[in-house]
Amino acid sequence: MDFLLFILYPLAFIRPKWIIPALLVHIASIVAAAEHYGRVPLIGLHDTLGFLAFSIGTVYLAAAWRRTREQFTYITLPLILVLLAASAASPVSAGPLPPVLKTAWFELHVILSFVSYALFAIGAVFGVLSLYEKEGTEEINQYRSLLLGYVLFSTAMIFGGIWAYLAWGTYWLWTPKELWTAIVWLFYSLYLHARLVRGWSGPKVVWMGIIGFVIVMFTYAGVGLLMKSSHEF
Amino acid sequence: MLSAANSMKNFFLSLKTTVWLLLTLVCLFFIGSYMMPVHREVFGPMNENLLFNWAVEVGLQNAWASWWFFAVLAALMLLTVNAVVCSVHAITGRWPRTDFLIRISPQVIHIGFLFILLGHLLGAGWGYKLSGMMREDSYARLPGDRVLYLRKIDVQSDESGYTKNWTAEASIYEHNTLAKSGQLGPNKPLFYRGAGIYLKSLNFESGPAAFLLVARDPGAAWALAGGILFSLGSVMVLVLKWKKA
């Protein structure tokens, strides 16, 4: 099924809406994996990179609905394909869910986190486009994408806190992963406030929206690989 | 004197102050994420005890490694003042009644954020955290003349031997009278009068035993209320700003 995705996603290079077949096949593969393992397939790099690619594809479809084929597609689709390739190259986490992950809070926390990551990714793409346009339309698109991403990310953090309180008796743990999560949240809070300040708004803020996604990717992949935390399962 | 007070007020009223404080916090957390794994001996016990106790007994003694943590507290304190001053100014200033939602929604977010900070503060300084291994059919003394009885431990495995779930039957006695009984498990603590009993792990080396945590966090309800307010305010801002952007 992974192989089929590598054929279907590039169809969007022809016309943005042609990403729909890829998304339908992708969601079918996620459901099939859930059936096969008897759990939501959101554990380990293979599952989560694939889900991130799917989330970016979904946000792309919504954002590109009225767009023609142009730079927005040329930047976003390669990103989706790179994430898919990384997912395919990562080992599959087979087996049932560890008992601590058998809760709706886990699913809500992870799904909302990855959808917000996807919005941050699309916000970064709009940021890159904004650097080359004068009208300011892409800057507004970036703002909308990042604002929605921020709201979902904040909600994901709150759900994660509730889950942690039920699982470990605390809604916050002092570990590097949690610190990086706070960095992401503070950084986008900074973006949203800086956009209102003269001297910061404009290209500086647009760049912040781009750098934010680099921080997100490091928080997601880098911290897990380099540092110990409660987010290892 | 008045001009000093005015410049202080202007400093805390400025969005630039917010921006610089947020940027400072980003940098401090970045430093912290590097320092924590490097100085495990200092930061290892950070989550095991009340944060206030750790800060006094370990943090201050090792300020060369934990200075960023105290700087975070200072920056959060300034950010709190900044948020309060800005919110009070936004609400008490003159504004057309038609702008009520757009004016009030960021303040709801601020209040939510402040509640979350208050929750952390209460949890860091008050309440308690006790942990230890308890054998099946044994008793442990808890604060407030309470006794915990661990009745039975049960592990459920699948055909391949993989642990699907684990549970423990526990009871709390207060003043020698049964106050509450229930089942503990992953994500399933037993709460009694603000204290939660958590089943962390099991051990069968010398008979069935459970590693339990008993925690009372008086800030948890504040943090939850803050989280709800924050989400509510964020959704309001999203809806209102989306249209206006």
The three-state (H, E, C) secondary structure of chain B, written as one string: CHHHHHHHHHHHHCHHHHHHHHHHHHHHHHHHHHHHHHCHHHHHHHHCCCHHHHHHHHHHHHHHHHHHHHHHHHHHHHHHHHHHHHHHHHHHCCCCHHHHHHHHHHHHHHHHHHHHHHHHHHHHHCCEEEEEEEECCEEEEECCCEEEEEEEEEEEECCCCCEEEEEEEEEEEECCEEEEEEEEECCECEEECCEEEEEEEEECECECEEEEEEEECCCHHHHHHHHHHHHHHHHHHHHHHHHHC
Q: Are the Cβ atoms of B224 and A162 closer than 8 angstroms?
A: yes
pLDDT tens digits, one per residue of B141-199: 988 889 999 998 888 887 777 778 888 999 999 988 999 999 998 889 999 988 999 99
Min CA distance, A201 vs chain B (Å)? 12
Nearest to B46 among A174, A193, A223 (CB): A174
Q: What secondary structure letter does DSSP report for A221? A: I
pLDDT at position B83 is 95
Say whether pLDDT at B119 is over 90. yes
pLDDT tens digits, one per residue of B136-153: 889 999 888 899 999 988
pLDDT, tens digit only, all 233 positions of chain A: 678 999 999 998 988 889 999 999 999 999 998 888 878 888 888 899 999 999 999 999 999 888 776 889 999 999 999 999 999 998 887 777 778 888 899 999 999 999 999 999 999 999 999 998 878 889 999 999 999 999 999 999 999 999 999 998 899 999 988 999 999 999 999 999 999 988 888 889 999 999 999 999 999 887 766 665 555 54
Q: What is the pTM of this model?
A: 0.92
Read off the pLDDT of each residue in B225-243 and give the average, rounded to a whole number. Answer: 92
pLDDT at position A228 is 57
Model confidence at B6, in pLDDT bands (50, 70, 90)? Answer: confident
pLDDT at position A231 is 56
Nearest to A102 among B119, B186, B241 (CB): B186
Q: Are the Cβ atoms of A170 and B16 closer than 8 angstroms?
A: no
pLDDT at position A145 is 96
pLDDT at position B145 is 85
Alpha-carbon distance of A27 to A116, in angstroms, equals 18
